[in-house]
Amino acid sequence: MIAPVRHAPLKLRDVRWIFRLLAEIRRLGDDPNQWRPLMVRELVRFFRAELVVSSEIYVSPTTQNGVWEVYDLGWGTGADGQTWRIESVTQETDPSVFDVMIRDQVPTLDRRVSIQPLHPIHQGTTFILSNQPLPHLLAIDQIGVHRGGQSQPFTPSDHRLLRLLHAELGRFWRKDVLDQTTDPARTLAPRLRQTLELLVQGLSEKQIAFRLEISPHTVHNYVKALHQRFRVSSRGELIAAARQAENQFVPRLSRPDRPD
């Protein structure tokens, strides 16, 4: 069932905050073990929540008829800001919450919708559940935001803001985007990444050596390694390639290699 879009006024400052968070997610890096903890901590503060969970849920048929294997991978946090890793594999005989995705009934054009859970959760007043369908990965990306029963209820605007954030994240994970996105900096070692960032800022090799407290010879070797990684032969080409890769960057899913 596709949830109707509830019209509610949004404050400009809240919308700006959502897009600042998206920018911070992209700046931080593509590793989900970095950007997801950041996101859940920020959402706890923004929504004054007691619990936020963000995870990818993958469903695979097993050799047993009617039995599905469910992977749940993500991060959660509480009001104290402490994060924890979510990683579980279970078998389900009737994963009803995934029915719409599995039956491929998700509209392909309108990605600004959420899928309702099988049963309403506290009427959406103390728990918001947003699901972003990823049918090409046989998966759902999920964000849950919870407040205690004695807290101020969530408003329709709160629901829309969470949907806005999730819909914008969902744009990064469309099949055509995933197919076209390449990022040579994705697997750079920390020192190589730092060197690249300082080169893009305009620092010389000597300045980088001073900043990182390493020898100029070591920096020169790092630069040569970056040239090889980006397949360029000059500093100008390296900076241009790095900026292009940054523009193409998307926050990576934990299991982007799931079969279509």
In a domain, 244, yes or no: yes
- Burial class of residue 186, CB neighbours in 10 A (0-12, 13-18, 19+): middle
Write out the E strands in the chain.
51-61, 68-78, 83-92, 127-134, 139-146
Q: Are 173 and 152 in contact (CB under 8 A)?
A: no
pLDDT, tens digit (0-9, with 9 covering 90-100), for 111-169: 333 334 444 444 567 888 888 888 778 788 999 999 987 778 898 899 999 999 999 99
Residue range(s) defining the domain that contains residue 111: 12-180
Task: Report the domain count for the chain.
Answer: 2
Does 195 lie in the same domain as 167?
no
Residue matched to tokens 């920390």: 190
And the tokens for 74?
């993500």
CB-based contact 115:100 (threshold 8 Å): yes
Say what the pLDDT of residue 29 is.
62
Overall pTM > 0.85:
no
Per-residue pLDDT of 164-206, as tens digits, reads 999 999 888 877 766 655 555 555 778 888 898 899 888 999 9
pLDDT band at 104; cut points 50, 70, 90: very low
Final residue belonging to a domain, choices 152, 180, 208: 180
Measure the CA–CA gap between 58 and 152, rounded to whole angstroms. Answer: 33
Please say which residue of 131, 152, 180 terminates a domain.
Answer: 180
